[in-house]
Amino acid sequence: MSAKVKTVYRCTECGAEHPKWAGRCDVCGEWNTLVEETAARLPAGNAGAARRQGGAAALGVGGSVVATATLRDVRGSEERRLRTAINEFDFVLGGGIVPGSMILIGGEPGIGKSTLLLQVAGALQASGQRVLYVSGEESPLQVKLRADRLSPAAADVELLTETLLETVLATAAGMEPAVMIVDSIQTIFTADLEGAPGNVGQVRECAARLMRFAKESGTAVFVVGHVTKGGGIAGPKTLEHIVDTVLYFEGEGSLDHRVLRATKNRFGGVDEIGVFRMTEAGLIPIENPSELFLGDRDHVASGSAVTALMEGTRPLLVEIQALAAKAGFGTPQRVSTGFDSRRLALLLAVLDKRAGLPFAQLDVFVNVVGGVRLHEPAGDLAVAAALASSVYDRALPAHALFLGEVGLGGEIRPVSQSERRLAEGAKMGLTTVYLAERGVPKRLRDVNAIGVRTISDVFRHLFER
Ligand code: TYD
Ligand code: MG
């Protein structure tokens, strides 16, 4: 008897199922995202059927009656988290790996996902935890060559080069590792579905079964997901919904630092980051990222200002560079990297109107150093100060920190968590802080806080010396 093969069309963005093809997914509204998928269901008679007995069968619901337990009786605790000794990695996860959880690590090809996970595997193995590393992308020799560059512990990791999900699951069930790493989800496929590995249906089904395996066995499962051009993981939304935790590994191609960021975490905070440097011998955690992004503050040119961003619960100091130069013919250019271009347009208008800085004839370039994104309005004041510094061609005080949102009236507004930001600044020797008058913290140590009300207040302070 052959199972009836049914065709559905699935949206690669949101995973919604459609009986017919359409140009636009009516669930998420994206265009050209529906792909054909064959949904072959297993013929009845295996696995589930054995359980489908007893009272429930009489009702025709096909389930079985199981005992429930109160939450008090559920065993397990936070303390059971596995630690890798790679502190930044444990931190981003919320304090280590939760047994039985499933974690997706997304990132562009070549960013270092396999390297990071092989190091994690080695560290766990060294602490006496069994790890199974499943590679569907590389040969055993390729993985071994990578391991040779990393810590010696990586050599003890058990490797399975396999792409068939059923084999992966059977092997893992026999071995009972504490952690299984599947590199990558796009190369794994199940024999129960037609369609090539990497197709949305395959990715979803394999992820769902790996998730079930994690929950039933207590093995923590990491899956690697390559990010597509649009910035999503194949069938991104659905994959992100399935797993417990989503980590993104990011970095600028030309720079050697990498940022690991939690964007979803059922067992910890989101937006926490860990910073690493890619070296000849793998990834090295950077304990003090501010140092990396800040550079040397003793010789500062005009157009440079520093602010403190909150990345999750941790402050991060970043340098903003601005350059205002005489424009050629035509519309002056506005180019910003790491800072929203509409926000820049707004700031330029405010600076023009409220502080009389003439940008109409100037090309303006703004760059947040180190590939960091200035995602908070708290960085406004630093951008404004950098712009003014460039226009006047006068360097800002070298050890100053700028914190504040700039309003349309040119007023400076206080920022959240200013104590933490100030403390990070002080740690790095930034002892003069410009911030909203209303936001000056009561108790201040080692810091000279200059409370300001408006953008012209700030400029008077800075340039009328
Ligand atoms: P990889 O982990 O293979 O990336 P991904 O799995 O995300 O595709 O890392 C690829 C890059 O990292 C590659 O360009 C080589 C570099 N690399 C190092 O610089 N040092 C190392 O020790 C290792 C293992 C890789
Ligand atoms: Mg890889």
Q: Where are the alpha helices (DSSP H) in 156-275?
A: 165-175, 200-217, 236-242
**Which atom of ligand 1 sits closest to the CA of residue 118?**
2
- Domain range list for the chain: 81-287, 292-463
Q: How far is CA 302 from the centre of its chain?
A: 33
Listing DSSP states for 325-355 in one string gives: EE--SSSPPEEEESS-HHHHHHHHHHHHHHH
pLDDT of 232 reads 60
Query: What pLDDT is recorded for position 59?
Result: 54
pLDDT in tens, 233-276: 555 567 888 999 999 998 876 678 899 999 999 998 888 889 99
Q: Which residues contact 425 (CB under 8 A, 6 or more apart)?
A: 306, 308, 317, 401, 431, 433, 447
Cα 299 from chain centroid (whole Å): 33
Amino acid at 119: Q
Q: At what angle do helices 113-126 and 140-149 cross, to 10 degrees?
A: 70
**The CATH classification of domain 292-463, taken from the options 3.40.228.10, 3.10.180.10, 3.40.50.2300, 3.30.230.10:** 3.30.230.10
Which residue's CA is the nearest one to ligand 1's atom 13?
A: 110
Single-letter amino acid, residue 183: D
Please, which residues bridge with residue 160 across strands?
Answer: 134
At residue 238, what is the residue type?
Answer: T
The Å distance, Cα 285 to ligand 1 centre, comes to: 15
Q: How many whole angstroms from 278 Cα to the centroid of ligand 1? A: 8
- Ligand 1 binding pocket mutation candidate from 278, 283, 284 (most atoms within 8 A of CB): 278
What is the CB neighbour count within 10 angstroms for residue 139?
10
Q: Which atom of ligand 1 is nearest to the CA of 111?
A: 7
| 7-11/34-38 β-pairing | antiparallel
Torsion of CA 247, 251, 257, 259, to 10 degrees: -20
For residue 231, what pLDDT is reported?
58
Give domain 81-287's CATH architecture: 3-Layer(aba) Sandwich (3.40)
CA pair distance 233, 240, nearest whole angstrom: 9
Nearest to 380 by CA among 355, 357, 405, 401: 405
pTM of the model: 0.79
CA angle 397, 254, 292 (to 5 degrees): 40
Nearest atom in ligand 1 to the alpha carbon of residue 107 is: 7
End-to-end CA distance of the chain: 90
What is the per-residue DSSP string for 156-175? GSEEEE--BHHHHHHHHHHH
Supply the residue whose CA is at minimum distance from atom 12 of ligand 1. Answer: 112
Residue 114 Cβ contacting ligand 1 at under 6 Å: yes
Between CA 310 and CA 316 the distance in angstroms is 6
Q: How many CB atoms lie within 10 A of CB 47?
A: 9
| CB 112 less than 6 A from any atom of ligand 1 | yes
Is any ligand 1 atom within 6 A of the Cβ of residue 282?
A: yes
Burial of 150 (0-12, 13-18, 19+ CB in 10 A): buried
Q: What is the mean pLDDT of each run of 10 residues along the chain (465 residues)?
A: 66 80 85 74 45 47 77 71 93 94 92 95 94 95 92 88 97 96 94 86 92 96 83 66 92 81 91 90 89 78 94 90 90 93 96 94 93 92 97 93 97 94 90 92 84 95 85
